[in-house]
Amino acid sequence: MKRPARAVPGKKPPFPPRISPSRRQGQKKTPLREILLPCLTVFLLGTLLLVSSFFVEKTPVITEVRPAVASPGDEVVIQGRHFKDSREGGMVSLAGDRVISEAYLEWSDRRIVFRVPQEAASGMIRVSTSKGRSNGLLFTNRRDIPVILRGPLAPGTPYIEGVEPAQGAVGTLVTLRGVNFGFTQERGRVLWTQKPPAGAVSREEDLLIASSEADYDYEYWSDQEIRVYVPDGACSGNLRIEADRGQSNGKFFEVMEGPVVKSYTGGKGYQITYGIDIYNPRGSPEGVLDLWVPGLPPGQEQRRIERLRSHEPVWEDGRKMGRYHFEGIALRGDIRLEFTYWLERYALETQVVPGASFSPYNTGRTLYTVYTAPDPLIPREPALAARAVSLARRPANPYLKARALYDFVLQSLVIDPAPPALTPALVLERGRGGAYDYALLFCALARGAGIPARPVSGCLIGTDKRAVKHYWAEFYLEGQGWIPVDPALGDGLRFWAFPSQDSPEEYYFGGLDDRRITFSRGFQALRPVLSGTARAAGVGLPFLQSFYEESLRLDYYDSFWRDIQIIDWW
């Protein structure tokens, strides 16, 4: 047997290794095109991706705002990227309000220059294009910077030393510390900065909004500490305390923006009047009569309210509910009360960022407890609550849940101008209702689903200057405030001489026109002043309260509550 040659280190074998015929036949040579084709494909795809990245629109990004503190009329420069080479529908929002077209001085892909509007508030600056909304950077209007004081403006006037926290969303509990707030609240108020309507020239006092007693915003009040919730409608700016001895210094508070943007547009002025006539009172000379009459509550869409009254109330609460007291009425004869109001009313629209998420409800807050609980207008009806839970089970957030309930009301009811007085469950069973029934059914379903909601009463105003009583509703979103809905108008309720919307179903979920006046937000349970009094309810005006008249030691009297009349508008 022949031995194989031994390999010598450092030398190559004299012949290449032999390959058996079977191995040589199984080996194939790879064509060049099969190597180049995948490489070329990868190269072309990478090149295409790199090129397309230069042409695809991206969400705008703000890197700098200069200056960050400016006065109305000053020029502000926004630096960043992806703003697009021309505005083409893009916009800058300042504290949630759009900057008007005339204010823009320059717009390019990396730089925007605009002039600060006269009514601008302090808050976040954002750039919006067709690809979305940018991040926000803080801008401060110089007039919102408080003057630093070492103590009260005058002896005894309230003085705020500190605010904690210094920023937060609507519904945040804020603690104010200082001196001379008053040992009890009485007529004291905490005033916040509110957004001006778009395009409106507002006085300084018109840019203030008070924390609301209807929303149970005040949690604690003492001479040196107040705990209060940030009210619906507040925006970044100074807050103050108003007490019997005057108004405090201002402290800046930053209201954090959320996924809901409210805008107030249009604006109509109204002069209205209504009144009460008392005839033929008979009874004891010591006869007593109390009249409980609501006034016009201020709000974001209802501003610059002025009033003239023939009588002054002996008591008035934060909801503008006044008690008018008359003694010895049997000897006084007939009584005539007159109320005249001047006001400005704005249309309200809400925009919600698609796919937005909302904070969970503060279930320990009184607002949540009251407006998810039953009351005389919305009794507890287990079957209706179960239906609400079923309808609202699938949507991901309370805004979409409320929309599902709104759509259900519109699908389930037919407009009936003169329906009988029924509970929300019976209205749903009957399948017919008026504006009052639509509003209460929506509120009952929302409360059953754990969403705070309340009915709202007032009147609609036609082009013929005729006022028609009307009812709608609103629901609450944590961190965002109240969102209006008008299910009856959304479902096609029409009044002659009242302007209609192109898409009422969409418009009246989150939107309200400026041809209405608000009187009552939620049901107000009044407490009798004296025991053993006779009480009267149901006067025909659009008020939501437990009774209107309270009498003692009177055998008889006639009362006539006059309808709301539109005296003038502008």
- What's the pLDDT tens digit per position in 419-460? 777 899 999 999 999 999 999 999 999 999 999 999 999 999
| 21, part of any domain | no
Task: Say if residue 366 is in the same domain as residue 507.
Answer: yes
Query: What is the residue range of 376's domain?
Result: 357-513
- Helix (H) or strand (E) holding 315, with range, is strand 315-316
- Helix (H) or strand (E) holding 448, with range, is helix 435-448
Q: Let me know: does 482 contact 233? Beta carbons within 8 Å.
A: no
Task: Say if residue 99 is in the same domain as residue 187.
Answer: no
φ and ψ at residue 390, rounded to 5 degrees: -65, -45
Task: Say if residue 370 is in the same domain as residue 426.
Answer: yes
Confidence of residue 178 (pLDDT cuts 50, 70, 90): very high
Q: What is the CATH number of the domain that holds 430?
A: 3.10.620.30
Q: Let me know: does 408 contact 487? Beta carbons within 8 Å.
A: no
Q: Please list the residues that pair with 229 across neighbouring strands.
A: 173
Task: Say if residue 377 is in the same domain as residue 509.
Answer: yes
State which of 143, 164, 179 marks the end of a domain: 143
Q: What is the CATH number of the domain that holds 88?
A: 2.60.40.10
Task: Say if residue 369 is in the same domain as residue 429.
Answer: yes
Exposure string of 486-511, with b = 16+ CB inside 10 Å and e = fewer, is bbbbbbebebeebeeeeebeebbbbb
Among candidate residues 516, 96, 568, the one with its CA nearest the CA of residue 346: 516
Task: Say if residue 417 is in the same domain as residue 446.
Answer: yes
Strands 335-352 and 414-415: unpaired
CA torsion angle for 127, 128, 129, 130 (degrees, to 10)?
160
Task: Say if residue 135 is in the same domain as residue 195.
Answer: no
- Provide the mean pLDDT of the chain: 86
Task: Say if residue 475 is in the same domain as residue 365.
Answer: yes
pLDDT at 9 over 60: no
Task: Cite the DSSP H helix spans in 4-126.
Answer: 21-26, 32-55
State which of 87, 116, 143 marks the end of a domain: 143
Mean pLDDT for 325-350 is 90
The count of domains in the chain is 4
Residue 207: per-residue pLDDT: 81
Residue 21: per-residue pLDDT: 43
Task: Say if residue 546 is in the same domain as residue 564.
Answer: yes
Task: Say if residue 302 is in the same domain as residue 201.
Answer: no
Confidence of residue 88 (pLDDT cuts 50, 70, 90): confident
| 4, part of any domain | no
| 533, part of any domain | yes
| 114, part of any domain | yes
Residue 329: per-residue pLDDT: 82
| 307, part of any domain | yes
- What's the pLDDT tens digit per position in 72-84? 889 999 999 999 9
Confidence of residue 16 (pLDDT cuts 50, 70, 90): very low
State which of 94, 110, 143 marks the end of a domain: 143
- What's the pLDDT tens digit per position in 496-521? 788 888 899 999 999 999 999 999 99
- What's the pLDDT tens digit per position in 103-116? 999 999 999 999 99
